[in-house]
Amino acid sequence: MNATVPCIEFEDVVAGYRDFMILNNLSFQVRTGSITLLIGPNGAGKSTVLKTLFGLLKPRQGRVRLNGQDISGSTQKSLLAQGIAFVPQGRNLFGQLSVYENLELGGITLGMKTTHERIPEVLEFFPRVKERIHSRAASLSGGEQKQLEIGRALLLRPKVLLIDEPSIGLSPIVVKDVFKLLRKLADQGTTVLMVEQNVKSALACSDDAIALESGRLVLHRPACEILADPTMERLFLGGAHAANAAAA
Ligand SMILES: Nc1ncnc2c1ncn2[C@@H]1O[C@H](COP(=O)(O)OP(=O)(O)OP(=O)(O)O)[C@@H](O)[C@H]1O
Ligand SMILES: [Mg+2]
């Protein structure tokens, strides 16, 4: 693959819901095999970026490209076939079905033989989910359900993983494991675009960060620079200054 072609590219994308535009001429690029963290206040449009990439929203203007190919308006089936997997914000399981059945459904585009071969390998990442393999998904704890959702996406061995607030409901140790797993996947070539409010630890495992405000890009910098910059700490991480300001 041509190293100069970005894995993901938004070019002047305008997208939104009905007549209300959320992304306003948004342009950015994401390198293959990198983790890019999307940050910004509630309602900034972070989830909307992921939904637009996964074909849940069609850009009204501009282009979304995957490895140089225009995918604006592609169906989810075609995007899945191109190796994009999406773990949305919130709960997204079939609660009445078992853990195993949820995983089987995740592999529906792979065929049952491949799915059954891959399920054990995915479960190795999530031992607690493995123990509950025959339980109803709804009976898992919130954090276990999130791990199952991540596992379900990994079944596809995605080339691009879109993941929206994975840490919600996970205990700190599991969050650390999930970030470590994302890092390992990225180091093996998977491109990860992640939304995460747990900014400091997410930055530590990311290569780049993009900050959005009202659907516009306000910053795109290496994650290590943001972590090292006290101004950034005040703006995005709620450092001591922000705490003092809030107290005042
Ligand atoms: N289905 C929808 N219909 C109408 N408006 C929507 C819909 N989904 C999101 N919005 C609006 O779009 C804006 C951006 O939402 P989005 O979910 O992208 O924000 P976000 O940055 O992910 O926020 P959060 O940190 O709270 O998850 C918000 O004002 C939201 O109310
Ligand atoms: Mg969101």
Predicted local distance difference test score (pLDDT) of residue 238: 55
Nearest CA to ligand 1 atom 28: 43
Q: What is the pLDDT of residue 232?
A: 75
Q: What are phi and psi of 222, to 5 degrees?
A: -60, 140
- pLDDT for the residue numbered 169: 84
Q: Which residues contact 190 (CB under 8 A, 6 or more apart)?
A: 33, 158, 159, 160, 161
Q: Does the pLDDT at position 243 exceed 70?
A: no
Helix, strand or coil, per DSSP, at residue 242: helix
Confidence at residue 16, expressed as pLDDT on a 0 to 100 scale = 96
Token code pair at residue 33: 């095999």
| Residue from 19, 46, 217 whose mutation best tests the ligand 1 pocket (most atoms within 8 A of CB) | 46
Tokens 């093996």 found at: 188
For the cut 70, the answer to whether the pLDDT of residue 240 exceeds it is: no
* DSSP structure class, residue 234: I
What radius of gyration, in Å, describes the C-alpha atoms of the chain? 18
pLDDT digits over 158-207, tens only?
999 999 999 988 889 889 989 999 999 999 999 999 999 989 899 999 99
3-state secondary structure of 206: coil
Closest residue CA from atom 4 of ligand 1 = 17
Ligand 1 residue neighbourhood (C-beta within 6 Å): 17, 22, 40, 42-48, 89
Cβ-count burial of 240 within 10 angstroms (0-12 exposed, 13-18 middle, 19+ buried)?
exposed
Tell me: pLDDT of 245 over 50: no
Ligand 1 pocket check: which of 23, 26, 37, 42 to mutate, most ligand atoms within 8 Å of Cβ?
42
User: What is the reported pLDDT for 151?
Assistant: 95
Pairing outcome for strands 208-213 and 216-222: antiparallel
SS3 201: helix
| Residue 17 CA to ligand 1 centre (angstroms) | 9
Q: Average pLDDT, whole number, for the chain?
A: 91
Torsional sign, CA 116, 118, 121, 124: negative
The predicted model gives 126-141 an average pLDDT of 96
In the chain, domain spans: 90-157
Query: What number of helices (H) and strands (E) belong to the chain?
Result: 11, 10
pTM for the whole structure: 0.92
CB 209 within 8 A of CB 220: yes
Probe target for ligand 1 pocket from 23, 47, 164, 198, with the most ligand atoms within 8 Å of CB: 47
The whole-angstrom separation of Cα 211 and Cα 155 is 30
More confident residue, 232 or 215: 215
| Beta strand pairing call for 35-39 and 191-195 | parallel
The answer to whether 138 touches 86, Cβ cutoff 8 Å, is: no
Specify whether the backbone of 93 is left (phi greater than 0), alpha (psi in -120 to 50) or beta.
beta
Q: Which atom of ligand 1 is nearest to the CA of 44?
A: 21
Between the alpha carbon of residue 75 and those of residues 53, 78, 79, the distances in Å are: 11, 5, 6
**pLDDT of the residue at 247:** 44
Distance from the CA of 203 to the center of ligand 1, in angstroms? 23
